[in-house]
């Protein structure tokens, strides 16, 4: 996450990851009941990664900055 924000800037990184993050967060809150914080955290991160990957496949140019030249 640090590298993403460092390379893209906070606004672009937040715009790119907001939807996958919110969906993964909601799913983790409502559906993940593993009785273990570590397992729930890993499942949340894995779901966020998968949703972000799907978003990049479905919308390859969403959230990217246009270069000046």
Res 1: pLDDT: 79
The pLDDT tens digits along the chain (69 residues) read 788 889 989 999 999 999 999 999 999 999 999 999 999 999 999 999 999 999 999 988 765 555 444
Return the pLDDT at 69: 42
Q: Which pLDDT belongs to residue 8?
A: 87
DSSP H stretches of helix in the chain = 2-8, 10-31, 37-58
Q: Using the structure block, give the residue that is written with the tokens 């590298």.
A: 3
Whether residue 37 is contained in a domain is answered as yes
What is the rounded CA–CA span in Å between residue 28 and residue 4? 23
| Number of independent structural domains in the chain | 1
- Residue range(s) defining the domain that contains residue 37: 17-58
Residue 33 domain flag: yes
Residue 39 lies in a domain: yes
Within a domain: 2:
no
Asked whether residue 46 is domain-assigned, the answer is yes
């Amino acid at each position: 996450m640090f590298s993403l924000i460092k390379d893209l800037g906070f606004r672009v990184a937040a715009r790119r990851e907001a939807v996958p993050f919110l969906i993964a967060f909601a799913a983790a809150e409502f559906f993940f009941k593993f009785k273990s914080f570590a397992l729930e955290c890993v499942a949340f991160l894995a779901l966020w990664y998968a949703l972000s990957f799907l978003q990049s496949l479905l919308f390859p140019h969403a959230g990217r900055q246009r270069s000046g030249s």
